[in-house]
A = this chain, B = another copy of it.
């Protein structure tokens, strides 16, 4: 699949697609071929690759939009708040990453197949 086709599916720019897919390529999850009939191809086992690996391959982007204003504050009040928040955030992050690890590309493919069959059935 070309970057242009992927971009259309995602509503994104082909160059942005290449940027992101490049990270997956560096992680060995996809390969790219140039030229005529080139494009992207999955080069990993759907059953073993999970969402947590994708998150890691994409550079482990920050999960939370909120968080400590200052990691090492002098203010003792802020330190107490940070400690309380850190505990909660660490637990939530661990849970989220565990859930990510539970979902493989094969699971997504199966869910896609189910949706595809359902759409065809609905159209009749």
Contacts and interface: CB of A to CB of B under 8 A. Distances in A.
B84 A91 contact: no
Interface residues of A, number: 42
Contact of A11 (B66, B70, B93): B70
Contacts of A107: 84
Interface stretch (A25-33, A37-45, A56-64): A56-64
A84 B51 contact: yes
A88 interface: yes
A121 interface: no
Interface in A10-33: 10-12
Given A111-B84, A112-B80, A115-B80, A96 B89 contact: yes
A80 B64 contact: no
Interface in A42-99: 51, 61-66, 69-70, 75-81, 83-85, 87-89, 91-93, 95-96, 99
Given A84-B107, A96-B89, A112 B77 contact: yes
A119 B81 CA distance: 17
B9 A77 contact: yes
